Amino acid sequence: MQVEAQHGDLGLPLWIVRCPLGGRHLVGRHAMKTLALEAMHGYGIAQRIEQISQGVFCVNPGSLFPAFRRLEREGWIKPVWKPTENNRRAKYYALTARGRKQLQSVTEEWGRQIAAIGRILEAN
């Protein structure tokens, strides 16, 4: 199930996907963070997000492509056609310098929000 909403910090639609255990997450932000590590194709990004989150976040690779188109238009990622590990041709995505700057900004803001939520939950 996908629900579209507007998200201010990345200027992207939020693609909220349901995991088998009912979890929800934001695909665009997670994809950008994954691409900060290395250039990858859509299926690899989906697998990496699930692996890093230890199965908490499950991404249908098809749900990434609308976010990729928006990230490309913003100049935050750059696509390149390359052969995969099994010699098939795939579109790989890499984070641009502008994308790294945006990701840093979003990550700092996210950290401030997480800290604030922590303070609220710990308040007596």
Reported as a single tens digit per residue, the pLDDT across 77-114 is 999 999 888 888 999 999 999 999 999 998 898 899 89
Q: What is the pLDDT of residues 7-54, one digit of tens each?
A: 444 443 343 344 433 333 377 888 999 999 899 999 899 999 999 989
10 vs 20, 32, 123, CA distance in Å? 26, 10, 30
CATH architecture of the domain with range 2-122: Orthogonal Bundle (1.10)
Would the pTM of this model clear 0.85, i.e. be above it? no
E-state strands within 1-124: 2-7, 12-18, 24-26, 40-41, 77-83, 89-95
